[in-house]
Amino acid sequence: MNTLFINGSPKKEGGCSAYIISETLKIMKDETAEHIRPGMGKNLEAACEKVLQAKNICFVFPLYFDSVPSHLLRFMRELEKYAAERKTEERYCYAVVNSGFFESSHNESAIEAVKCFAARAGFKWRFGIGIGGGPFMVESRSMPMNFFVKRPVYGALCRLKDDMENKSGWPENIFVSPAIFRKMYILMAHASWLIQARKNGLKSKDIYRAPEPEKSPSATEGK
């Protein structure tokens, strides 16, 4: 196996990370490329062994609090220990991070976290891709990836594919967002929240409802 994509999304299906992996596999046309989704269970040894069978390792995940999702972070720690005990051939590491922010630069800290992991695990770091407007990418799955509004992301994934096949120099991280106006993206996001609220029997005003603050014991004792 030449390339392995690691889906770090907590979603079992339908997430942006899974969509990005599937589209990248189409671009690569590499029959040996595979993908895994490490679960939150205790047995991670099989997943670690799978990773070490690949030459190119690419982590694909959503941004969580400006960093890596906790379950993926746990897997990375286990993989770091596992790789330290089995240092054999060279392995190259990449990261593709998507977020709900329109500005792709928000993903930089998470990419740096994977870069740090690669150094500790003994993998050769290549580069990362930060994708802004992740929800738009997956919600517009009916559009081809090379359609003009998604072409910036398509170009970044093509760059990823080229580097996996023919490594040259030391490329820098790539940060891209869909080719739509930021204001339009925000309006579409707000509309999506309203649609989800109505599906769950809520009205638009219910989205802004806040929980009642708990009364302290001292406030009730005086009554």
Rounded to the nearest 10 degrees, the angle between the axes of helix 16-28 and helix 151-165 is 60
Position 47 scores a pLDDT of 85
Burial 1-14 (b: 16+ CB within 10 A, else e): eebbbbbbbbeeee
Query: Do residues 72 and 20 make contact, with C-beta atoms less than 8 angstroms apart?
Result: no
Position 222 scores a pLDDT of 54
DSSP codes joined into one string, 36-88: E---SSS--HHHHHHHTT-SEEEEEEE-BTTB--HHHHHHHHHHHHHHHH---
pLDDT in tens, the chain (223 residues): 589 999 988 887 778 899 999 999 999 877 788 888 887 666 678 888 888 888 999 999 999 988 888 888 899 998 888 888 777 678 899 999 998 887 888 999 999 999 999 999 889 999 999 998 888 787 778 888 888 888 999 999 999 999 998 887 778 999 998 888 777 777 776 666 666 777 778 777 777 777 777 776 665 555 5
Identity of the amino acid at 203: K
CA distances from 134 to 84, 97, 176, 177 (A): 34, 9, 10, 8
In the numeric block, which tokens belong to residue 135? 């929800």
Torsion of CA 80, 39, 51, 67, to 10 degrees: -50
Please state the pTM of the whole predicted model. Answer: 0.83
- Helix H or strand E encompassing 187: helix 182-199
Query: Do residues 137 and 147 make contact, with C-beta atoms less than 8 angstroms apart?
Result: no
Position 196 scores a pLDDT of 72
Position 46 scores a pLDDT of 83
Position 223 scores a pLDDT of 52
Query: Do residues 97 and 110 make contact, with C-beta atoms less than 8 angstroms apart?
Result: yes
In the numeric block, which tokens belong to residue 12? 């079992």
3-class SS of residue 128? strand
